[in-house]
Structure 1
Amino acid sequence: MKKTIIVLVVFSITFGFSQNNADQFGINSGIFPPNKSYDLPEEAIGTPYVDNEFSFAKINKSKEFYLVRYNAYQDVMEVKKNEKTKIITLDNNKDYVISLNDKEYITRTFASGERGIVHIIWDDIDHALFQKENVKLTPATKAKTSYHTSIKAKYSEISNEYYMDFGNKSLIKVPKNKKKFYALFSNSAKNVQQFVKKEKLKIDNKEDLIKIVKYYFS
């Protein structure tokens, strides 16, 4: 009986520690939630991360700093308390603001209804422009014959996407097609188009996009 009580106490302490470790980030997802796959190819060329190294970051209004890195391929933030603790992932279905490497990453809902991670590149009181960093994985291919060469899986950065919040908290993807791009601005489309032409701006350039959005919302 005494042995059983001791085992239960130890289990409770261990479980409590694990739960608190997750709760300190406002989550209960535990280590590597089952809805995310972490079976990444070890020998792949490149990296799924914007930065391979963990960097100190603040999460929401926490006064503490945590070690964080952004997995752009899987669109998740990986977090650990320190070098000795296990990695946990933040749940994108919850609201987070992560100040990491001079960027402010947030979890938001896209117009499609899906949730994901973006970072703010411009905002005012009611509107904002966001950038989404993307990484793709090209699968490995095995040599079909002795005359062919096997190719390793490869991570590579792909074009960043931009999203706008017109004030309703839903993110609308900025189209690369000019006609669809100007249609975003409805009745002001002609004025925006004239501004872009006059200033010789490109709609797929980050700095130019910021100028366009600032002009529209001014």
Structure 2
Amino acid sequence: MKHQAIIYVLIMIGNFSFAQTLGGTDQNIAPIYYNLGVMQANKDYRATFFKDIEGTPYIYKDFVPSEIEGIQSKMNLRYNAYDDVVEVEKAPGEIYTVSKDPAYGVIYMNYDRKKLRLITIDDKSNEKVLIYAFELMNNKTTALLRHDKIDFKEGKVAKTSFELNSKPRFTSINSTYLLEQKDKKIIEFPTSKSKLLALYPAHVNEIKSYLKENKIDLATESDMIRTTQFLSTL
């Protein structure tokens, strides 16, 4: 009996330690970790996948101590802008992703505490999808977000002696800016004056005056932030 009691205590200690790692002592929520090994994204996801590819799927390569809102413990995280996942380093060489669950929908990445949010948008097929976006501005009623995407290009084997082989590579970052409106619906930020005015038919003259007086370029991030701040006052 004593032997069984000792085993039981050890199991309970192990379970408690594992729960602490997962943030289970903070709240009763689903596991944070999601195994990279089960992911498919035009490839088999494995630890050696990136070694023969030029470039990087990361905007910031290093894991940094970061916080998931609602979880007390800090974790080593980094954002993978190719797969649109947040990777978590549970231990050296042991990497998972944070589950795409609204319970973990706000992450403070310690690249100057950048706020990364898991949001729902309509894709081109009008299907609801979850994506990550950095929050650039938020005054409680209106927000501007940026979704960063790093693309992947397959390598090519030369067909003739006049061509060169090319390695597979990650390409440049493409950013999509998103406007979260007062009703919390998230749409692509209108980068043309006509599209912006169409969103606010009751405030056409005010918006025209603001754009003209402030010489706003709706394709510039700093001006998008300023314009979002203005729109929140309408």
How far did 1:30 drift? Answer: 3.7
When the two structures are superposed, what TM-score results if normalisation uses the length of structure 2? 0.76
Task: Extract unaligned runs of 5+ from structure 1.
Answer: 1-8
1:34 aligns with 2:30: no
CA distance in 2, matches of 1:22, 1:183: 49
Instruction: Tell me which residue corresponds to 2:3.
Output: none
Do the aligned residues in 1 keep the contact of 2:179 with 2:189 (CA within 8 Å)?
A: yes
Query: Share of identical aligned residues, percent?
Result: 22
> Structure 1 residues 189 and 137, CA, compared in 2 at 3 Å: closer, same or farther?
farther
For 2:169, the equivalent position in structure 1 comes to 154
Aligned CA distance change for structure 1 residues 36 and 126 (closer, same or farther; 3 Å):
farther
Is 1:170 paired with 2:185? Answer: yes
CA shift at 1:16, angstroms?
Answer: 5.8
CA distance in 1, matches of 2:37, 2:20: 14
Label 1:17 to 1:216 Cα distance change in 2 as closer, same or farther (>3 A).
same
Structure 1 residues 184 and 67 mapped into 2: Cα distance closer, same or farther (>3 Å)? Answer: same
The residue aligned with 1:105 is 116
How far has the Cα of 1:184 moved from its partner?
Answer: 2.6
Question: Partner of 1:214: helix, strand, or coil?
Answer: helix
Q: Distance in 2 between matches of 1:44 and 1:182?
A: 44
* Number of corresponding residues: 207
1:192 and 1:212 in contact (8 A); partners too: no
The letter of the residue matching 1:94 is P
Q: Given that residues 142 and 229 in structure 2 are in contact (C-alpha distance below 8 angstroms), is that contact kept between their aligned partners in structure 1?
A: no
Secondary structure of the equivalent of 1:87? strand
Task: Give the deviation of 1:60 after TM superposition.
Answer: 1.5
Structure 1 position 141 matched with structure 2 position 169: no
Cα separation, partners in 2 of 1:65 and 1:23, compared to 1, 3 Å: closer
CA drift at 1:31: 1.6
Which residue identity does 2:134 align to in structure 1? Answer: H
Give the distance between the partners of 1:189 and 1:55, measured in 2 at CA. Answer: 44
What's 2:96 paired with? 88
1:61 to 66, 70, 77: 70
Q: CA deviation at 1:172?
A: 0.7
Cα pair 1:143 1:149 within 8 Å, conserved: yes
> TM-score, with normalisation over the residues of structure 1?
0.81
Measured on the aligned residues, the alpha-carbon RMSD in Å equals: 2.8
